[in-house]
């Protein structure tokens, strides 16, 4: 490919591409309400058709998955994974209409596109198609075959994706590698590459009034707490028993299956920390966090990549409206997520939580599972990973290699069910996903488009690295 000519074409065509991306972002596609889901799935199918491909909107028990093909008898095939669903926008503090895709000048970032899905992940998805159209305008044809599996339930734990992968396994296994296009530069401009992802267990703990005490049918006047126990107190006591005062997890058996980082990756992480390539201050500044759990940055980075977490996402009980209303609730709930590292498995972790509650006398507290899927791990020597590293070094000069993604994604479907390697990547910066004022920088979108072109070039003609330690 004539990479420099394609980059120049993308620059010349960028104003038009940006408007196309903004139009796609304005489509509401909220997982938990279903608002705009079908319309956005149809729009994704349209994006595949814009490349000359064929697309199918596949019905599932949940939201549809868009499957597509652009087959050109090329030597190599990429499976493009993505998601068109987004989180709700009910947070306070939005500076712009959450689906307006408005451009605002953000401090230290410049012109930025404010919209739910701007970074997670409708923005990079739409920008990927813009980049591919740029390749076609210059080259006439893409250097790879493309398959597409774009889901609408990632924010709900990818509930329909494993069954879809089984149904379409014959088609999907034709791919050499899976690419998840994503903006991977942090606020300081440093790109990162992840070698896998933590697993996810998302549960709700429910404490109802019952034989132990508490109202059983409805909330009652708060003054009766003198007589009647409160489910909110009981639930918070149960939650507090999971950790010590420093939030270190104290659940028996929780860490039994935790596998240390592979030595090669541990050494690389230590080298990057020691050289100053990994700077935790960037995170503190960007997320308005004054102090990490570990005061030593080396320990903080190592914890992030090698240890599981148990996090309270929300607590709900009684009256939470304005001003006052005294009430003793009959139910209290907490939403909790666990991020699991190799070799932890969701069912085993769930069993340790259940046993811990039972030992503590909280047998009545119900655990309701919403999402559950395992971790996945990738080799540093995977050719697509090396191609992405070369891409970053060509266009930026440096790259952070992360042993694992602290968040979660259904990569186990590719690794365990389909036997396919994968890579996540792309230049460009965005942040505040799952929060108000989610954004991506305008300049970063163009950088991302260029990085996708460079990655295609590196992937199709680059040296094939030997498989090694995972």
Indicate if the pLDDT at residue 460 is higher than 90. yes
Is the domain spanning 3-195+378-461 CATH 3.40.630.10? The answer is yes
Indicate if the pLDDT at residue 470 is higher than 80. no
Indicate if the pLDDT at residue 401 is higher than 90. yes
pLDDT digits (tens, 9 = 90+) for 112-166: 999 999 999 999 999 999 999 999 999 999 999 999 999 999 999 999 999 999 9
Is 346 within 8 Å of 374 (Cβ atoms)?
A: yes
- The angle, 0 to 180 degrees and rounded to 10, between the axes of the packed helices 3-12 and 442-461 is 160
pLDDT for res 386: 96
Q: Is 39 helix (H, G, I), strand (E, B) or coil?
A: helix
Residues contacting residue 204 through CB under 8 Å, at least 6 positions apart: 333, 334, 335, 336, 367, 368, 370
Return d(Cα 168, Cα 150) in angstroms, integer. Answer: 13
Q: Which residue has the tokens 């956005």?
A: 40
Confidence of residue 379 (pLDDT cuts 50, 70, 90): very high
Return d(Cα 449, Cα 105) in angstroms, integer. Answer: 21
Return d(Cα 115, Cα 94) in angstroms, integer. Answer: 9
Q: Which residue has the tokens 């992968």?
A: 165
- The angle, 0 to 180 degrees and rounded to 10, between the axes of the packed helices 122-139 and 442-461 is 60
Q: Is 7 helix (H, G, I), strand (E, B) or coil?
A: helix
Extract the tokens encoding 209.
Answer: 């009034």
Mean per-residue pLDDT, 10-28: 98
Indicate if the pLDDT at residue 213 is higher than 60. yes
Indicate if the pLDDT at residue 469 is higher than 80. no
Indicate if the pLDDT at residue 468 is higher than 50. no
DSSP 271-316: HHHHTT-S-HHHHHHHHT-S--SSSSHHHHHHHHHH--EEEEEEEE
CA 252 to chain centre: 29
pLDDT for res 295: 85
pLDDT digits (tens, 9 = 90+) for 43-58: 999 999 999 999 999 9
Domain range annotation of the chain: 3-195+378-461, 198-258+307-373
Pairing state between β 177-181 and 77-83: parallel
296-333: string of b/e by CB count within 10 Å (b at 16+)?
ebeebbbebbbebbbeeeebebbeeeeeeeebbbbbbb
Cis, bond preceding 121 (omega within 30 deg of 0): yes
- 198-258+307-373, CATH topology level: Alpha-Beta Plaits (3.30.70)
Question: Whole-model pTM?
Answer: 0.91
Q: Which residue has the tokens 């590459």?
A: 193
Return d(Cα 20, Cα 12) in angstroms, integer. Answer: 15
Extract the tokens encoding 260.
Answer: 């240390």
What does the longest C-alpha to C-alpha distance in the chain come to? 78
Is 389 within 8 Å of 423 (Cβ atoms)?
A: no
Half-sphere exposure of 273 (CA within 13 A, CB side): 19
């Amino acid at each position: 490919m004539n990479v420099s000519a394609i980059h120049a074409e993308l620059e010349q065509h960028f104003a038009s591409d940006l408007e196309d991306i903004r139009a796609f972002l304005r489509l509401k596609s909220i997982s938990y309400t279903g608002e705009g889901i079908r319309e956005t799935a149809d729009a994704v199918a349209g994006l595949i058709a814009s490349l000359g491909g064929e697309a199918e909107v596949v019905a599932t028990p949940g939201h549809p998955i868009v499957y597509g093909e652009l087959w050109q008898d090329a030597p190599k095939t990429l499976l493009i994974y993505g998601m068109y669903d987004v989180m709700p926008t009910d947070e306070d503090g939005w500076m712009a209409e959450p689906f307006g895709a408005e451009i605002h000048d953000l401090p230290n970032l410049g012109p930025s596109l404010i919209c739910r899905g701007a970074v997670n992940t409708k923005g990079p998805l739409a920008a990927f198609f813009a980049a591919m159209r740029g390749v076609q305008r210059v080259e006439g044809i893409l250097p790879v075959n493309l398959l597409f599996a774009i889901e609408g339930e990632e924010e709900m734990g990818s509930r329909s994706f494993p069954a879809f992968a089984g149904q379409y396994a014959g088609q999907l296994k034709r791919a050499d590698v899976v690419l998840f296009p994503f903006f991977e530069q942090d606020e300081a401009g440093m790109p990162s590459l992840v070698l896998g992802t933590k697993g996810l267990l998302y549960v709700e703990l429910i404490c109802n009034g019952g034989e132990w005490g508490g109202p059983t049918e409805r909330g009652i006047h708060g003054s009766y707490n003198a007589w009647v126990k409160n489910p909110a107190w009981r639930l918070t006591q149960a939650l507090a028993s999971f950790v010590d005062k420093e939030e270190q997890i104290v659940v028996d058996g929780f860490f039994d299956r935790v596998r240390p980082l592979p030595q090669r990756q541990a050494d690389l992480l230590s080298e990057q920390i020691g050289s100053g390539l990994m700077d935790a201050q960037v995170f503190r500044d960007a997320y308005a966090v004054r102090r990490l759990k570990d005061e030593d940055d080396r320990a903080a980075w190592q914890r992030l990549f090698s240890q599981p977490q148990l996090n309270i996402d929300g607590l709900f009980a009684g009256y939470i409206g304005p001003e006052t209303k005294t009430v003793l609730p009959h139910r209290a709930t907490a939403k909790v997520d666990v991020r699991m590292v190799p070799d932890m498995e969701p069912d085993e972790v769930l069993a340790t939580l259940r046993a811990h509650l039972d030992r503590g006398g909280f047998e009545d507290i119900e655990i309701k599972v919403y999402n559950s899927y395992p971790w996945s791990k990738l080799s540093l020597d995977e050719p697509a990973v090396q191609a992405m590293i070369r891409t970053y070094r060509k266009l930026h000069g440096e790259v952070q290699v992360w042993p694992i993604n602290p968040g979660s994604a259904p990569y186990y479907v590719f690794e365990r069910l389909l036997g396919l390697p994968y890579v996540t990547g792309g230049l460009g910066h965005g942040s505040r996903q799952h929060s108000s004022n989610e954004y991506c920088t305008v300049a970063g979108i163009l950088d991302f488009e260029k990085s996708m072109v460079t990655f295609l070039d590196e992937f199709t003609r680059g040296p094939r690295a030997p498989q090694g330690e995972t």
